[in-house]
């Protein structure tokens, strides 16, 4: 007679003794990479269960992908702490959880006074099979027409309110920080050279949009 499969208990939360933290459904967590030297994986806990004795905990997770793990790879506008919420679900041992982290919305992230090691942000959902992003269009800025990277300094034209990268207006970052006013090429009075303000925090104020394209490259899914 075949052995009956032991039933498992579904839990809303679970105490992880090895990190002395309690996890619950919806938490963002850091999970040990299967490859030595690689950064921890970022995931969202979807469900937690244990065996009948309350041990051997398993977590069902939804993976966040880093830009370099997506089909299109990392691009200039991707922030260092940017992740994409994927449709890739997995069942993992709770013992592989290394700690909890925070995945902020894009707008919340750019308002942070400081960014900690466990802070990340997400502005896209990602289909791991097709490489499609949702949303597939985002606001773009500057004459290079790139989406906003929160790691980059940008300066704002006092006339048209458009934002520009220092390199796109022929300035170094340090020089851009020192200038008192800025008018872009289209708005600058004829008798003045380009000037610049010391504003360093951009308002995400879309005038155009850029389609987030898919690049067909080899995509290695992470192992369990």
- State mean pLDDT over 77-95: 97
Amino acid 180: pLDDT: 86
The CATH label, of 3.90.1720.10, 2.30.30.490, 3.30.200.20, 3.10.110.10, for the domain at 9-134 is: 2.30.30.490
Each residue's pLDDT tens digit, 172-210: 999 998 888 888 888 876 435 544 444 444 333 333 344
Domain boundaries, the chain: 9-134, 138-214
Q: Which class for 126: exposed (0-12), middle (13-18), buried (19 or more C-beta within 10 A)?
A: buried
Q: Is the pTM of this model over 0.75?
A: yes
Percent of the chain with pLDDT over 90: 67
* Angle in degrees, CA 101, 40, 35, rounded to 5: 170
The DSSP secondary structure of the chain, one letter per residue, reads -PPPPPP-EEESEEEETTTTEEEETT-EEEE--SSTTSPPEEEEEEEEEE-TTS-S-EEEEEEEEPGGGSTT---TT--TTB-EEEEEEEEEEGGGEEEEEEEEEHHHHTT-SS--TTEEEE--EE-TTT--EESSEEEEETTTTEE--TTS--EE-TTT--EE-GGGGT--HHHHHH-S----TTTS-TTS--------------SEEEE---------PPP-
Regarding the domain with residue range 138-214, which homologous superfamily does it belong to in the CATH classification?
Answer: Zinc/RING finger domain, C3HC4 (zinc finger) (3.30.40.10)
pLDDT tens for each residue of 101-121: 999 999 999 999 999 999 999
Mean pLDDT computed over every residue of the chain? 85
- Locus of tokens 């499609």: 132
Best CA proximity match to 41, nearest among 61, 18, 19: 61
């Amino acid at each position: 007679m075949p052995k009956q499969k032991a039933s498992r208990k579904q839990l809303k939360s679970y105490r992880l003794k090895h990190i002395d933290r309690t996890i619950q459904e919806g938490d963002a967590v850091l999970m040990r990479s299967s490859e030595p030297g690689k950064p921890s994986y970022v995931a969202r806990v979807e469900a937690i269960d244990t065996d009948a004795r309350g041990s051997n905990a398993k977590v069902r997770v939804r993976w966040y992908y880093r830009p370099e793990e997506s089909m299109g790879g990392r691009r200039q506008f991707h922030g260092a702490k940017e992740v994409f919420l994927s449709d890739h679900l997995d069942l993992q041992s709770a013992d592989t959880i290394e700690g909890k982290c925070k995945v902020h919305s894009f707008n919340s992230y750019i308002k942070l006074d400081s960014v900690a090691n466990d802070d990340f942000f997400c502005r896209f959902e990602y289909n791991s099979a097709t490489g499609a992003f949702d949303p597939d269009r985002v606001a773009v800025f500057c004459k290079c027409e790139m989406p906003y990277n929160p790691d980059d300094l940008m300066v704002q034209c006092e006339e048209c309110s458009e934002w520009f990268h220092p390199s796109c207006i022929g300035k170094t970052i340090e020089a851009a920080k020192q200038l008192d006013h800025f008018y872009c090429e289209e708005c600058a009075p004829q008798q003045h050279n380009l000037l610049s303000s010391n504003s360093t925090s951009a308002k995400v104020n879309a005038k155009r949009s850029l389609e987030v394209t898919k690049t067909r490259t080899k995509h290695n899914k992470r192992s369990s």
